[in-house]
Structure 1
Amino acid sequence: MARKLKTYQTSLGFFDLAIAAPSMKAALEAWGADSNLFHQGAAKESDDPDVIAAAMEKPGVVLRRAVGSDGPFGEHAKLPTDLGGTRPTKAARKSKGPGAKRPSSRPVDKAAEQKAALAFEKEQSRRELERAKEEAARRKEHERRQQAVDKAQAALDKAEQEHAKQAAAIQADIETLEKKSQTEQARWDKEKARLEAALRRARG
Structure 2
Amino acid sequence: MARKLKTYQTSIGFFDMAIAAPSMKAALQAWGSKSNLFHQGFANEAGDPDVIAATLAKPGVILRRPVGSDGAFRENAGLPSDPSGEKVKVRPKRPAAKPGKRSARKIDDQAAREASLAYEREQKQRESQQRKEEAGRSKQRERREQAVAKAQAAIDEAGRVHEQRAGEIESERAALKRRAQAEDDRWNRQKAKLETALRRARD
Listed one character per residue, the Cα deviations across residues 106-135 of structure 1 (whole Å, up to 9, x for unaligned) are 344111111111111110000000000000
2:59 matched to 1:59? yes
Partner of 1:78: 78
Partner of 1:90: 92
For structure 2, list consecutive stretches of 5 or more residues without a partner in the other structure: 96-100
Partner of 1:21: 21
Aligned-residue Cα RMSD (Å) equals 1.7
Amino acid at match of 1:169: E
Structure 1 moving runs of 4+ over 6 Å: none
Aligned-partner SS, 2:112 = helix
Whole-angstrom distance in 1 between the partners of 2:67 and 2:90: 13
Pairwise mapping of residues 8-157 of structure 1 onto structure 2 (< 5 A)? 8-82=8-82, 85=87, 87-91=89-93, 94=94, 103-157=102-156
Aligned-partner SS, 1:90 = coil
Aligned-partner SS, 2:145 = helix
Deviation at 1:88, TM superposition (A): 4.3
TM-score, normalised by the number of residues in structure 2:
0.91
Listed one character per residue, the Cα deviations across residues 38-76 of structure 1 (whole Å, up to 9, x for unaligned) are 111111100001000000000000001111111000110
For structure 1, list consecutive stretches of 5 or more residues without a partner in the other structure: 96-101
Whole-angstrom distance in 2 between the partners of 1:25 and 1:149: 40
Percent identical among aligned pairs is: 57
Aligned-partner SS, 2:17 = strand
Paired residues in the alignment total 196
Whole-angstrom distance in 2 between the partners of 1:71 and 1:53: 14
Partner of 2:178: 179
Whole-angstrom distance in 2 between the partners of 1:195 and 1:107: 127
